[in-house]
Structure 1
Amino acid sequence: MLRACTLDFQGSWNSHLPLAEFAYNNSYQATIGMAPYEKVKLIKEQIRTAQSRQKSYADKRRKDLEFEVGDEVFLRLLPRKGLINPKKGGKLSPRYVGPYQILQRIRLKKYQPDPEHIITRDTPPLMENLSYTERPIRIIDQQIRQLRKREIPMVKVVWQNHNRDEDATWEMEEDMRNQYPELF
């Protein structure tokens, strides 16, 4: 088709290129069984249908939570182990604290601080975004791990807000030396 256009328009074929593009998009394509613009319309329609179906599935399972005065709720934590690896969460790290009693309803998901609310000692100090920083207490073990031709020194660290040595994690010795030299 382009060859025919270049022959017909000779030297000025580049100014007629949008016409050739329009003709190509409106002509029947044997490989897809329709014109390209029809295929684009069909794909957009299928996407809208799939989005609508997924929305209806999500809406059936969604339930809005409403709390009343006197209900007890848990607050969700976002634990962070120092600055080593915030994405690496332990299996047994605390995820919720509470329960706390709702004293007054202001808005749907807002908490109004009350001086009578006392957080127990075993609950880590929370920051504004409900996360807390873990600090290492002590090192209980050391080992060297082999990775092909490299040897990596590792240390097993017990963290501040974990009660048992079983919750200790293996960390790279170099990182721990840089961040917490007082442990060595």
Structure 2
Amino acid sequence: MRLCMVENANPHCVGKRLVREKLLGPEIIQMTSEKIDLIRKRLQTAQSRQKSYYDNSRRKVEFEVGDMVHPGFSLDYYEPLKIKDNLTYEEVPIQILDRKDHVLRAKTISLVKVLWKNHTVEEASWEREDEMKSKYPELFVNEASTYK
């Protein structure tokens, strides 16, 4: 059904009223096809505009090992990722940056802030200390002098 506006026949009522009109067979198919074409054209226009914005702001940049790419991130830590057959890779921690205790109602959880290989300091994450000690004990060798 389609809603159409028609002039109100009553001279005392100023305005318009809604009338329901049935669309049959080819009319509804034609109207739907026109709407789909309009939507496609608008999507193409939007995609073209976004591509243009992206292309105008893109530039080629090259770095070498030792260059400071981002504050707190040097390419000295960078190594090519070892991608597995299932297209995954293992995150490798390189340093403990900080430590804190997270207090719950009846329990305290010790957390450590971990800097991961191929990530910036801003991307460091808080992890459970007990889990990190069991998986990566080498990170905690000199911990007594650093945080106590």
- Fold match (TM-score > 0.5): no
> TM (normalized to structure 1)?
0.38
Determine which structure has the larger strand proportion and give its number: 2
> TM (normalized to structure 2)?
0.44
